[in-house]
RNA sequence: GCGCUUGUAGCUCAAUUGGAUAGAGCGCCUGACUUCGGAUCAGGAGGUUGAGGGUUCAAGUCCUUCCGGGCGCACCA
């Protein structure tokens, strides 16, 4: 506005304007929006903030007919209260945009690649994988909602020692079934889980002419089959959680296609790779450390603690080497921003992998890593520890059977991913106010129930003659809350913090429930009149609320039932 | 030892990307069902935002030093 020469303002703008915000202020200020502009501009103008605020207030008032009152306060805030015409225009806008309301149409559209889950294909997913899975999924929904292009990817670590141990475990289970040989439980490298038995059975049934006399002879074929089986399980788990990836990228394929060699060559050309030695790790446990000359990536150039190994002694690639190749592959596919969702235990890996992306792209592209913290499971008020020992770890399937997809998603998302999350099985199952999911769903259900009672559908398009309503302060309070929705989406997208959505939806629901109960004492606050009709004013108001709840819940991929 | 991360009400957590008098839920106390669905609502008590220092007109938020929790510190994945 200040750039507009017609205003003929005497206020000087600094070279860079940063930090000027327009926000909905805390309730007690009794106004609709507020800006800190005067305080930011104070220095460049060498005037006290309040003086600038007053000048600005004059300018704004002159140029906007929808402002009722404009006041300046203490340090230099400018507070604005709108006329009803503003709110009518606002609500008309929501009704016409429907679920598209809140999308930031001005922001440039970006091509994102979001890698998440990427759990080892050695068995079904367990609860520990859930949080990151849901986080990545909702982040993808959020960014696509905002009009960005998003590819959801799963990196399949089907190469290396773990996979050999896994397929060997399947091999022994097959021998157990076919030849009645006992499974070698003493071998700690093997996977003891019962699901391996099912995988073994499936492989036997589908490959009648395969011989299982010697592991080395079937190893290659068996590994492929075993990985395929566990991927089938994983994909089913994900689907039941409401998650479908766009692409699964196989580590083995990358190695086979020489992508690792190509990538290392590229890095070598820029002097990021060399033959050298690294010092022993600082941990006390590692007493059998052997110093060795090996192929290293210069991650210390980017601030990492030490350079990182690319090749093992037997000349096969390290996990890191093929992961660098995967990220090179991502960059080749021309994504603007790469996002990885990692578990807390992999946080130490971030520095080296972001370093590799910087090295490959010449600092042109960025990899953003988002860490999802641990989920502390609580059952009957007591912490529940999972261990790899058979029988006492909870799978995604257990979780879904017990609490369901919607409650799992909503609760896992309701906290910042930076913070450990208490997941109380007993509480999440409860269908009560203890459970924020039902609180928000109940809000939508109540609105649907009003529509039903006046023989309409909540999904119907609303048509009214005109938007000339007189909303009361209690209604404007909710409209103000709705006006914060676009900002909520913007911040959640920019900071990759989807937990802001459930938090927002809870707050909006709370204000709605509060308004609803006012109808007990005050008939004018009821949606349905005594003659079983609803006014245009009220139906438009309800529709606006339902639009925001619905689109929020769709981003979370959580159901909004019309009856509960 | 080093790195990352975290510390907000008795408990679990928010806090509009540095804004005004730090907000919810649970638990505790008091109240509202002849209901457009009580899976709800109104009110009360509860805080030196781990501690100190700094930057700023403005700090829970940024910088710094301590203290306490979590995770990590491989040729594993």
With CA of A37 and C1' of each nucleotide, the nearest comes out as B19
Distance A498 CA to B55 C1' (A): 31
Residue A484 CA, nucleotide B16 C1', distance (Å)? 8
The residue whose CA lies nearest the C1' of nucleotide B7 is A419
Task: Give percent above pLDDT 70 in chain A.
Answer: 94
Residue A371 has pLDDT above 90, yes or no: yes
Confidence tier at A387 by pLDDT (50, 70, 90): low
d(CA A430, C1' B10) / Å: 23
Average pLDDT over residues A371-376: 92
Q: Closest nucleotide (CA of A161 to C1')?
A: B76
pTM of this structure: 0.94
Which nucleotide is the nearest neighbour of A304, by CA and C1'?
B3
Q: Which residue is nearest to nucleotide B33 (CA to C1')?
A: A520
Nucleotides of B under 7 A from a protein CB: 1-7, 12-21, 23-27, 32, 35-42, 57-58, 70-77
Joined together, the tokens standing for residue A223 give 């590994």
In angstroms, how far is B49 C1' from A531 CA? 53
Q: Find and give the residue nearest to B17, measured CA to C1'.
A: A491
CA of A357 to C1' of B4 (A): 19
- How far apart CA A33 and CA A35 sit, in angstroms, is 7
> Which pLDDT value is given to residue A333?
97
Quote the tokens at residue A539: 């139906």
Q: pLDDT band for position A9 (50/70/90)?
A: low
A15 pLDDT above the threshold of 70? no
A311 CA → B75 C1’, Å: 7
pLDDT mean over A11-15: 67
CA-to-CA distance for A83 and A277, rounded, in angstroms?
Answer: 72
Nearest-nucleotide field for A562 (CA, C1'): B37
Helix residue ranges per DSSP H, A191-318: 195-206, 215-240, 251-256, 259-269
Closest CA to A109 of A329, A335, A333, A357: A335
Residue nearest to nucleotide B37 (CA to C1'): A446
Cβ–Cβ < 8 Å for A102, A548: yes
**Sequence-separated (6 or more) residues with CB below 8 Å from residue A564:** A438, A441, A442, A445
Q: How far is the CA of A191 from the C1' of B18 (A)?
A: 51
Closest nucleotide to A74: CA versus each C1': B20
The HSE-up count of residue A68 (CA atoms within 13 Å, CB side) is: 11
In which band, very low, low, confident or very high, does the pLDDT at A5 lie, cut at 50, 70 and 90? very low
CB A11 within 8 A of CB A47: no
Determine the straight-line distance between the first and last CA of chain A, rounded to whole angstroms.
48
When pLDDT is cut at 50, 70 and 90, the band that residue A138 belongs to is very high
Indicate if ipTM > 0.90.
Answer: yes
Phi, psi of A98, deg, nearest 5: 50, -135
Interatomic distance A20 CA / B55 C1' (Å): 19
The Å distance, CA of A507 to C1' of B28, is 24
Segment A370-382 mean pLDDT: 86
Q: Which nucleotide's C1' is closest to A312 (Cα)?
A: B75
Task: Please calculate the CA angle A203-A117-A257 and round it to the nearest 5 degrees.
Answer: 65
Q: Is the pLDDT of residue A11 over 80?
A: no
Which nt has its C1' nearest the CA of A321? Answer: B75
Summarised one tens digit per residue, pLDDT across range A500-555 is 999 999 999 999 999 999 998 888 899 998 888 899 999 999 999 999 999 999 99
Task: State the pLDDT at residue A386.
Answer: 66
Closest by Cα among A357, A363, A365, A366 to A325: A357
pLDDT at A238: 97
Distance CA A473, CA A479 (A): 10
Proportion of chain A above pLDDT 90, given as a percent:
72
Distance A77 CA to B5 C1' (A): 35
Identify, with chain letter, the residue nearest to nucleotide B40 (CA–C1'): A513
CA of A416 to C1' of B13 (A): 9
How many angstroms separate the CA of A510 from the C1' of B34?
26
Sign of CA dihedral A209, A211, A217, A221: positive
Residues A218-250 pLDDT 10s: 999 999 999 999 999 999 999 999 999 999 999
Over residues A411-418, mean pLDDT: 94
Angle between helix A161-179 and A215-240 (nearest 10)? 100
The protein residue nearest B14 (Cα–C1') is A503
pLDDT, one tens digit per residue, over A415-462 is 999 999 988 887 887 766 678 999 999 999 999 999 999 988 999 888
Nearest protein residue to nucleotide B1 (CA to C1' distance) is A282
**Is the pLDDT assigned to residue A167 strictly greater than 50?**
yes
**Residue-averaged pLDDT of chain A:** 91
- pLDDT score of A6 more than 60: no
pLDDT at site A384:
75
């Amino acid at each position: 506005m200040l750039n507009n020469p017609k205003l003929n303002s005497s206020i000087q703008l600094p070279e860079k304007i940063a930090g000027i915000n327009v926000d909905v202020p805390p309730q007690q200020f009794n106004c609709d929006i507020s800006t800190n502009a005067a305080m930011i501009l104070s220095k460049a103008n060498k005037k006290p903030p309040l003086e600038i605020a007053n000048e600005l207030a004059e300018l704004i008032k002159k140029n906007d007919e929808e402002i009722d009152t404009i006041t300046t306060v203490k340090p230099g805030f400018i507070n604005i209260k709108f006329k009803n015409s503003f709110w009518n225009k606002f609500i008309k806008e929501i009704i016409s945009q429907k679920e598209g309301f809140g999308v930031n149409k001005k922001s440039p559209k970006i091509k994102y690649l979001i890698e998440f889950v990427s759990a080892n294909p050695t068995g079904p997913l367990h609860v520990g994988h859930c949080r990151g899975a849901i986080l990545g999924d909702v982040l993808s929904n959020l960014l696509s909602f905002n009009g960005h292009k998003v590819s959801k990817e799963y990196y399949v670590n089907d190469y290396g020692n773990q996979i050999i141990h896994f397929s060997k475990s399947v091999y022994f289970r097959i021998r157990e079934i076919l030849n009645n040989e006992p499974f070698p439980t003493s071998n700690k490298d093997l996977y003891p889980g019962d699901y391996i038995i099912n995988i073994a059975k499936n492989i036997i049934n589908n490959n009648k002419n395969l011989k299982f006399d010697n592991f080395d002879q079937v190893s290659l074929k068996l590994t492929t089959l075993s990985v395929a089986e566990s991927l089938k399980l994983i994909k089913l788990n994900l689907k039941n959680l409401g998650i479908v990836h766009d692409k699964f990228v196989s580590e083995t394929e990358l190695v086979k296609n020489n992508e690792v060699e190509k990538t290392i060559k590229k890095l070598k050309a820029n002097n990021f790779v060399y033959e050298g030695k690294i010092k022993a790790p600082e941990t006390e446990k590692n007493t059998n450390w052997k110093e060795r000359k090996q192929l290293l990536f210069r991650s210390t150039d980017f601030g990492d603690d030490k350079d990182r190994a690319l090749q093992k002694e037997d000349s096969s690639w390290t996990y890191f080497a093929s992961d660098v190749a995967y990220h090179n592959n991502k960059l080749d596919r021309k994504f603007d921003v790469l996002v990885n969702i990692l578990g807390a235990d992999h946080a130490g890996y971030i520095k080296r992998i972001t370093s590799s992306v910087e090295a490959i792209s010449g600092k042109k592209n960025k990899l953003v890593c988002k860490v999802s913290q641990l989920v502390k499971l609580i059952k009957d008020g007591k912490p529940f520890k999972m261990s790899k020992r058979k029988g006492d770890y909870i799978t995604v399937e257990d979780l879904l059977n017990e609490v369901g997809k919607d409650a799992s998603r909503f609760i896992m998302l309701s906290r910042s991913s930076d913070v450990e999350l208490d997941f109380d099985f007993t509480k999440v199952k409860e269908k009560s106010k203890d459970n924020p999911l039902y609180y928000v769903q109940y809000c939508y259900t109540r609105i649907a129930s009003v529509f039903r009672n006046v023989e309409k559908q909540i999904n119907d398009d609303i048509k009214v003659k005109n938007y000339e309503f007189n909303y009361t302060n209690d209604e404007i309070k909710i409209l103000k809350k709705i006006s914060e929705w676009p900002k909520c989406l913007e911040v959640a997208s920019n900071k990759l913090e989807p937990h802001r959505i459930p938090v927002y939806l809870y707050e909006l629901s709370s204000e709605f429930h509060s308004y609803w109960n006012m109808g007990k004492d005050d008939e004018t606050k009821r949606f349905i009149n005594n003659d079983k009709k609803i006014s245009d004013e009220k139906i438009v108001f309800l529709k606006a609320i339902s639009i925001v709840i619905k689109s929020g819940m769709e981003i979370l991929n959580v159901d909004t039932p019309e009856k509960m």
